[in-house]
Structure 1
Amino acid sequence: MSVTIDWLAFVEVFAAALVGASLVVLFYALGLRLLVRAGRVPVVTPAEFTDAITVISEKEAARAAKAAAKAAKKNPLTDTQKNVALVGAYASFAMCALAVLGGLYLIVAR
């Protein structure tokens, strides 16, 4: 019994995975950038883990939220430009989701 490897299929899968991962990272980073430009800085509250290396305190979280609000006030964009950036951010997140769903479709359909 001889085992043969279809190297062309291997290269196709590798290229598809590389392009898919790059698209997801690109659209997510672009979405976050546009979200910040729109004045909607995402502030995530810290999670408590039992084996965490560092956990920020409530005071540090409040300071980060205050800095985000201050940065949003300094935004030089007009309200229209902020709305366009917000729509662009949501469109980028949608493209990120579509890239993930497309990858799942390729896995299930083949």
Structure 2
Amino acid sequence: MTTTLPAPAQALIDAANRGDLEGFLDAFTDHGVVDDWGREFRGRSAIRGWSDGEFIGVRVSLEVTGVTGGGDEYTVTAQVGGDGFNGPSHFSFRISGSHVTRMTIRA
């Protein structure tokens, strides 16, 4: 168990909390994936569309309450706020070098 996230995942969360769409997108690899409860969005354009309607576009806030994992896979427990979904959720991250390759959102 760990209490810190690798820089790419932390940068993604920080950008989301700032409402910084470009910083959020820059945290992903060119072929990054968001898996939002089984719906997959691949690549910058698809992730942007998803985020505009369901994440940064609804002023998401993520209060991290726990971190587990190591190596290239981490899971964050967070309290989600904003004008969309509100409540606890889990965000799993796959990391490759200095970027996120996949962010999976589950309850």
- TM tier, smaller: under 0.3
Higher RCO (CA-CA < 8 Å; seq separation 6+): 1
Compute the TM-score of the two structures, normalised by the length of structure 1: 0.27
Report the structure number with the largest CA radius of gyration: 1
As a proportion of its length, which structure holds more helix? 1
As a proportion of its length, which structure holds more strand? 2
